Amino acid sequence: MNKTVRRLADGRRITYYDEGERTRSRTAVDTRDLPETTAMSEIRRDPLTGELVVLAAHRQTRTYKPAADLCPLCPSAPGRPTEVPEADYDVVVFDNRFPAFSGGTGHADVVCFTSDHHSSFTELDPRRVRTVLEALADRTAELSAREGVELVFPFENRGEEIGVTLHHPHGQIYAYPFVPPRTERMLAAARAHRDERGTPLLADVLKAEWAEQRRIVAKGRHWTAFVPPAAKWPVQVLVVPHRQVPDLVELSTAEREDFAEVYLSVLRRCDALYDKPLPYVAGWHQAPVHRDRDLAWLHLELFSVRRAEDKLKYLAGSESGMGVWINDSTPERIAERLRAVG
């Protein structure tokens, strides 16, 4: 992989990650007349629950469902400059123009997986998936070294049903200035399990899934994909490495190669469920930057709101109001259906 760092017209950073045999000279200049980025976000604590809430009012004006020929994530063309000045790219990462975190309270990246507007992560070949992983690992390392960053969360939102407003295949990376509550709960569970049994929680979960087999969707030499035993969502899959590592940086070459095969198998099964692209969120749970790295176990979580071909799961009173989830299916049935369409 070849890495090239450049600057956009407003000073934001853009990084190209090119696959070896397709190395290009990255010299294109962003010709747009852009004002310097002045986005500011604020973090407040809910006095009733202690939860942190990010206020980012500038995001109200972000780009919303543009036509394909106006997509800001496609390569630039004569007379049509975009966020990517080059005429083509493999994988590119740049500072978000409308970041959720800014002004010294974290950071937000945009990650484009391919220059093909009409493609998807599911359609990437294993080599490109590895390039994406290398880019995410590189940015994880760089963002983790920044003052004030406590956790790095790479993720992809796919589908209008999820809330996607740009259809080009892309994801984001959030560098949180605090450890999010979901991570805190997972760390607490891992700590309690280790204190009681002396073993890592996900190691024992993997052993149980291998023994039972009913919830496993796909398995490789280094990764297992399974539906969690208390799945909240109509479709939910964890993709877990067989070795405990804290973050993407620590994955070996063999683990990255095997992940590409296992994850693509999962995505293709998801799309085959209803014979159309499945809307989903897929995010990497990584260790906090400064603490509890011995407790954390890197894994990817994918979930979807689609519960039937023509039905979506809405978070209603119990889920939204009280945080108590009700699933209309069972984890075993979800896994059975994903295996059957393989």
> End of a domain among 132, 158, 178?
178
pLDDT score recorded for residue 63: 66
298, 280 Cβ separation under 8 angstroms: no
> End of a domain among 178, 209, 237?
178
pLDDT digits (tens, 9 = 90+) for 125-137: 999 999 999 999 9
Backbone φ and ψ for 274, nearest 5 degrees, come out as -120, 15
* 299 catalytically annotated: no
What's the structural domain count of the chain? 2
Chain centroid to CA 314: how far?
21
Rounded distance, CA 112 to CA 171, Å?
6
pLDDT class for 25, splitting at 50, 70, 90? confident
141 and 265 share one domain: no
Euclidean distance between the first and the last CA atom of the chain, given in angstroms as a whole number: 31
134 and 37 share one domain: yes
127 and 238 share one domain: no
Binding residues for Zn(2+): 71, 74, 117, 168
pLDDT digits (tens, 9 = 90+) for 206-238: 999 999 999 999 999 999 999 999 999 999 999
pLDDT class for 41, splitting at 50, 70, 90? confident
Catalytic one of 107, 167, 170, 285: 170
**Which helix (H) or strand (E) segment is 235 a member of?**
strand 235-241
The CATH number given to whatever domain includes residue 147 is: 3.30.428.10
Reference 327, options 254, 256, 229; nearest CA is: 229
Binding residues: 71, 74, 117, 168
pLDDT score recorded for residue 17: 97
pLDDT digits (tens, 9 = 90+) for 49-100: 999 988 887 776 666 567 778 999 999 999 999 999 999 999 999 999 988 8
Domain encompassing residue 121 = 2-178
pTM: 0.95
171 and 193 share one domain: no
186 and 174 share one domain: no
Residue 244 pairs in a beta bridge with none
Rounded distance, CA 216 to CA 266, Å?
11
239 and 113 share one domain: no
pLDDT class for 21, splitting at 50, 70, 90? low
Q: Name all contacts of 29-36 with Cβ < 8 Å and 24+ positions apart.
A: 29/85, 30/81, 30/85, 31/81, 31/85, 32/8, 32/81, 33/9, 34/8, 34/9, 34/10, 35/10, 36/10, 36/11
pLDDT digits (tens, 9 = 90+) for 230-266: 999 999 999 999 999 999 999 999 999 999 999 999 9
206 and 156 share one domain: no
pLDDT class for 311, splitting at 50, 70, 90? very high
137 and 191 share one domain: no
> End of a domain among 128, 148, 178?
178
253 and 272 share one domain: yes
189 and 136 share one domain: no
The DSSP secondary structure of 279-313, one letter per residue, reads: PEEEEEE---SSS-TTT---EEEEEESEEETTEE-
- Is the pLDDT confidence value at 14 over 80? yes
17 and 158 share one domain: yes
63 and 118 share one domain: yes
Rounded distance, CA 297 to CA 185, Å?
13
